[in-house]
Amino acid sequence: MSGLGQHLPALQVVVPILVAPMVVLLRPRGLAWAASTAASVLAFVIAIELTLQVLGAGPVGYLMGSWPAPYGIELRVDALSALLLLVVTGASTVALVGGRQSLDAQIEADRQPYFFAAWLLALAGLSGILVAADAFNIFVFMEISSLASYVLIAGGPDRRALPSVFKYLIMGTIGATFYLIGVGLIYMMTGTLNLADMELRIHAVGDLTPILAAAGFITVGLALKAAIFPLHVWLPNAYTYAPHMATAFLAACSTKVSLYVLLRFDFFVFQGNLEGHDLQFAIYLMPLAVLGILVGSAVAMFERNIKRLLAFSSVAQIGYMMLGASLVSIAGLTAGILHIFNHALAKGTLFLAVASFAMVAAGLRLNELSGIARRMPWTFGAFVVAGLSLIGIPGTAGFVSKWYLIMAVMELGPAGVPLVAVILISSLMAVVYIWRIVEVACFAKTEEQGSSAIAVSPLMIVVTWLAALANIYFGLAPALPLTLSGDAAAELLRHLP
């Protein structure tokens, strides 16, 4: 590795954020797409290299401008951030490489450079949250990524995206402002913004009431951003009316990055300092997780628009991740973090396939998708594989994380039995809603409606299948995400006896 190798944590953010303004200037058709795809691929390569470094030698630290840590700005990539960096950059790359045709169909040519600039800013913001090691930079990157994703969601041709994105903007800003209040209260008591330093200095704080209030503000604010039930109301409409490729990108990673910050604060900063914090965290969040799982799956069963259906399924899946975290045990947290990765694989693939359907079918309501399996068998095959992964069929990635989640719940003893029941019932509901789509797509009578001469580009099919095969690969050989999430859980819970 040359001298550039040690700057990777910074380059992870710098590459997309520098390419973003350049993309705006690239007027000739296709150039903006090519440049942003190249930047995204480069970011993905950097993330892979960082993951290898983390696996080899532990967390990678980086001091901006070589100023020492609590005074200067520190970047830090550990197992948890490496795993999420893979998810974020991977989702962006896959959606961009495969999504050109779909994006060309949905975004007018003269607006494309702006759209891609917003895309890269979202990518930079999300990566920035993951590499930043201090609370205020996390806030700034959070707002960069949020503002850019509002633009992405509103960028499509569907006018219903506008009221949805307005709602998202209001709720997202309230969430971020709550987070800012929390950080302010901590700064008031400790005088530091660096997370590691913060954790140490809270020990010395006499009156912990402001810290407790800060924990409340930060947890609620981030729960809003992460769409944890019942704060998920912005999510279904935003995902439904966004351009299909933007949905594939954001659904795979944006809420999970907020979840990452939540875990980082609650476990890394507060866990060792607030008495009974683990208990409070479990008592408040476990019921919400369970409700989220049940309500999200139940609504998905009756939803008629396929994108809304998958969006509600996302609400349920976020519930699984929270359930794992709210067990506050190494096994539970490992399962929750593993599910972040596996759900991104499954949901990303599903939304990629949906984007292909949208180009051929008349619309995305279930009855408009009738017979789609016969018209595009390859894409539908990939959809089914990812659907099986979402349900948690053995041999797919989804099974691995659900298995670990059930094992973690069983550690509770008899108290865990109802939770196992919840996981099983929700998986059955997932069978129902995926089956509804399969049934319509394979067995319903095809009405030849309108011209469907458009063929989906082979590149799109290849990318969708690559994503689907990743679901199977990580179902059979889950070593990489499992090691990373195990390390991450151990690191987050190091205060626990």
**How near is the Cβ of 177 to other proteins at its closest, in Å?**
6
Least Å from the CB of residue 233 to other proteins: 13
Query: Which is nearer to other proteins, 302 or 435 (by Cβ)?
Result: 302
Give the interface with other proteins as residue ranges (CB under 8 A): 136, 139-140, 143, 147, 150-151, 154, 159-160, 162-163, 165-166, 169-170, 173-174, 176-177, 180-181, 184, 187-188
Task: Name beta bridge partners: 77.
Answer: 60
Alpha-carbon gap, residue 202 to 144, rounded angstroms: 29
Shortest distance, position 195 Cβ to other proteins, whole Å:
15
Cα–Cα distance measured from residue 302 to residue 298, given in angstroms and rounded to the nearest whole number: 7
Q: How far is the CB of 39 from other proteins (least distance, A)?
A: 22
Q: How many CB atoms lie within 10 A of CB 68?
A: 8
Q: Which is nearer to other proteins, 43 or 165 (CB)?
A: 165
Q: Which is nearer to other proteins, 155 or 478 (CB)?
A: 155
CB of 191 to other proteins, least distance (A): 8
**Block residue for tokens 């984007």:** 355
CB closer to other proteins out of 180 and 223: 180
Is residue 475 within 8 A of residue 397, CB to CB? The reply is yes
What is the C-alpha to C-alpha distance for residues 271 and 325, in angstroms, rounded to an integer? 13
Least separation in angstroms between residue 385's CB and other proteins is 35
CB of 47 to other proteins, least distance (A): 26
Q: What's the rounded Cα separation, in Å, for the pair 333 and 488?
A: 8
> Whole-angstrom Cα distance, residue 178 to residue 195?
18
Give the nearer residue to other proteins in terms of CB position, either 242 or 430.
Answer: 242
**CB nearer to other proteins: pick between 13 and 325:** 13
For other proteins, give the closer residue by CB, 188 or 477: 188
CA angle 441, 442, 448 (to 5 degrees): 65
DSSP per-residue string spanning 311-368: HHHHHHHHHHHHHHHHT-SHHHHHHHHHHHHHHHHHHHHHHHHHHHHHHHSS-SBGGG
